[in-house]
Amino acid sequence: MNLKKELKPILLGLFLFLFLYFFPKPDRVLSGIREGVLLLHWYIKEHTIFCLIPAFYIAGAIGTFLSKESILKYLGPEAPKIHAYLIASVAGTVLAVCSCTVLPLFAGLYLQGAGIGPATTFLYSGPAINVLAIVLTTKILGTKIGFFRAVGAISMSLIIGLLMHFIFKKREKARLANIPITSSYIQGPPLKISTTFLATLIGILILVTWEGREGISEVIYNSKWILTSFLVFFLFLELIFFFKINFWYLGILGILVSFIQLLIQNKEISFLVGTLGISYLAYQRGGITREWFENTYILARQIFPFLFLGIFISGFLFGFKSEGLIPPFYIEILLGGEDFFTHLLASFISALMYFATITEVPIIQGLKNAGMNWGPALSMLLAGPAVSLPSLLALKKIMGEVKTLAFLFLTVLFSALFGYFYQIFIIN
């Protein structure tokens, strides 16, 4: 027996044995498991069908219909820096998705040839520069912290992207040299058709996840399903005229989805049936539409298992409906200081937690009422929505361990710095 080879499983087994033997509160472990399952159940029910599934199809479309050359032109390392980072930050802001939903979109861009700098700017800006969340922060926590959250998030998206570019400049050249030119683009539709198709998919994603309920946002919210139906109809026309999918098959699918909605009054199931139907027709059509489905499936297969595992672990550690393994009391004690270490700890803890879009505001409000200072609160607002344990596990599969750790380190560090600056120079 090779003792060196067996040392890792032996140490892991010994750790698990001692943990279970000496752990004084098994009830808390069971509570953590319950919270992990509840969080996973909630995420699958509330975020998978309307958030993740459309995002995967958009990512698959990016990898299928946009060539390496077109992405490199606007987001590659040789692209004009101002344009690349502006496009990446604006694209992320418009989508306003959570740290997990942005993953397949990031993967579609990154794996197709976008530079690590603009790609990570997009990765951070999508969940962090959420206009609705910033407005909610201003209303609930105050104008001052809402303003500095907006300034910090926009600044950090650009700083993190630029630093990732410079840190991995040599590795990026090697990576981009190994990305082949996709034959599907050469044989596929013109760029105008591809971008129109992508815009329709993105529009559907934005509408089905729309939650704003004030002013013009409320008008859109109240009519979002009518607008979504219009875009789905437009999508059907694109599939018929651009990609030659059979008119009658799509018509039957539309009738079937409408009948299911009338029968069970469940938009999630109706949406899922429609998505599965389009997937089947795209696969059966062959050619570029089959490649679109296959690219979507490959991304989903790579990301979903690690994402769901990370969501369970996040619920297990920090809880969901009630306490998880780690009591909130400990977190509140740790975040009551004003020193830089407290801000660093606040950033790191929030980077491991999972925040659904906008939910970070009431959670941090609760911590603030329990004694947390304003600086650590801002640090958590900057780090938490952008990074989570589930997203980190999935990111490792997309861009590797070193780049994932670098992205985590930069997010935590600059979140802590912005929070510390806010506490020392603005609050005190």
The per-residue pLDDT for range 166-220, each reduced to its tens digit, is 999 888 888 877 776 544 444 567 878 888 998 999 899 888 888 766 667 778 8
268: closest CA among 49, 12, 2?
Answer: 49
Which pLDDT value is given to residue 185?
Answer: 41
Domain count, the chain: 1
- CB–CB of 397/358 below 8 Å? no
Q: Dihedral through CA 22, CA 27, CA 33, CA 35, nearest 10?
A: -140
Is residue 74 over pLDDT 90?
Answer: no
Mean pLDDT score, 224-230: 92
How does pLDDT run across 363-418, given as a tens digit for each residue? 787 677 667 889 999 999 999 888 988 889 889 988 989 999 999 999 999 999 99
14 domain-assigned: no
DSSP 97: -
Query: CA 378 to CA 252: how far, in whole Å?
Result: 51
344 domain-assigned: yes
4 domain-assigned: no
How does pLDDT run across 47-63, given as a tens digit for each residue? 788 888 888 898 788 77
pTM over 0.75: no
329 domain-assigned: yes
12 domain-assigned: no
Mean pLDDT score, 136-152: 86
Q: How many residues does this entry show for the chain?
A: 428
Query: CA 47 to CA 97: how far, in whole Å?
Result: 10
Distance of CA 220 to the CA centre of its chain: 23
Domain range holding 395?
Answer: 33-40+48-427
Q: Which residue has the tokens 């994932």?
A: 404
Residues 6+ apart with CB under 8 A from 245: 239, 281, 282, 285, 289
DSSP 168: T
6 domain-assigned: no
262: closest CA among 247, 248, 273, 275?
Answer: 273
218 domain-assigned: yes
26 domain-assigned: no
